[in-house]
Amino acid sequence: MTGSRLVMLAGVAAFALLLLAFAPGKHAAAAAQRAAAVQAAPRGVPGAVQGGVKGGVQGLVQGVVQQADPAQVAAGRSLYVTHCSSCHGFEATGTRIGPSLEHAGAASADFYLRTGRMPLNDPTEQPVRHRPAFPPDQISALVAYVASLDAGPAIPTVQPGNLADGNELFSINCAQCHNDAGAGGALGYGDIVPPLRHSSSVDVVEAARIGPKPMPVFGPQTLSDQQVNDIAAYVQYLHHPEDRGGLGLGHLGPIPEGFVGWVVGMGALLLVCRLIGTRG
């Protein structure tokens, strides 16, 4: 074997090794970047942290004060009688098959109607997310009617949150049911835990505060307004986590991507060996 041929072979081998190392290496770098991004996030979210410290402001989730517009309440009342009273009772005080809505409040009515959970078809089925059954103005009217029954919780206004804190709070309070990635799962007795990929920030804060059964209620004693804002921010982040790196093979992960690198690398090596062989 001549010297130049040896140099060429060594070069090809090095090229193949580089290919092999490429995909997993990018993963490590991307993971480090991601970790850094989560750490750095607080600085990128203006107002959230400073607001809490500077003014000592608690309660960043302010309720929107419901302007009780009598015409809107009346419109809501007539929709209620048609679509809801069969289960919740003519005066919304509940029946054998549906709970009272007297203390449900705007937050609960808004959550159940906007996520299409209500009206149910069958009172024994678990309410799940559907396309809303009513247009926004009718939802507002129904919400106004339910809110007029008593002073239940108002619709929250979500403020910017801290991603790193949200990540930690989500792991502690939510992940055991919704899974680390918010993908959902199942509880005992056939209850489904929904994925959070369609949940807006308002959905997250409303769900935490009202606890759509069998999810527990996370009241202000358990999670402060800032903490639910942090969790809401983190759930939005879960919808679009930064690119995980790799060679764009549909994000198969390091092992399949490494395998493709290996096959391509070995293929190139064999091809070059053949070329050298036939020339000699």
Phi then psi for 126, rounded to 5 degrees?
-75, 130
Strand partners, 193: 185
Q: Does 130 bind ligand HEC (CB under 6 A)?
A: no
Q: Does 215 bind ligand HEC (CB under 6 A)?
A: yes
Q: Does 214 bind ligand HEC (CB under 6 A)?
A: yes
Looking at 30, 37, 74, 177, which residue binds ligand HEC (CB under 6 A)? 177
Helix, strand and coil percent figures for the chain, each rounded to 5: 55, 0, 40
| Cα torsion through 33, 34, 38, 39, rounded to 10 | -30
Strand partners, 186: 192
State which residue, 212 or 256, has the beta carbon closest to ligand HEC: 212
Looking at 12, 75, 210, 238, which residue binds ligand HEC (CB under 6 A)? 210
How far apart are the C-alpha atoms of 176 and 215, rounded to whole Å? Answer: 11
**Which residues lie closer than 8 Å to 199 by C-beta, 6 or more apart?**
207, 235
Please, what is the minimum distance in Å from the beta carbon of residue 88 to ligand HEC? 6
Q: Does 123 bind ligand HEC (CB under 6 A)?
A: yes
Please, what is the minimum distance in Å from the beta carbon of residue 196 to ligand HEC? 5
Instruction: Give the number of other Cβ atoms within 10 Å of residue 221's Cβ.
Output: 6
Phi then psi for 241, rounded to 5 degrees?
-60, 150
Burial of 229: CB neighbours in 10 Å, binned 0-12, 13-18, 19+: buried
Please, what is the minimum distance in Å from the beta carbon of residue 117 to ligand HEC? 6
Q: Does 91 bind ligand HEC (CB under 6 A)?
A: no
| Cα torsion through 187, 188, 190, 192, rounded to 10 | -10
Quick note: the x/- pattern for ligand HEC over 27-66, rule CB under 6 A, is ----------------------------------------
Q: Does 77 bind ligand HEC (CB under 6 A)?
A: no
Looking at 86, 157, 179, 224, which residue binds ligand HEC (CB under 6 A)? 86
How far apart are the C-alpha atoms of 23 and 201, rounded to whole Å? Answer: 35
Looking at 23, 60, 88, 144, which residue binds ligand HEC (CB under 6 A)? 88
- Residues found near ligand HEC in the complex (CB under 6 A): 83-84, 86-88, 97-99, 101, 104, 108-109, 112-113, 115, 117-120, 123, 126-127, 129, 142, 173-174, 176-178, 187, 191, 193-194, 196, 198-199, 203-204, 207-208, 210, 212-216, 218, 231
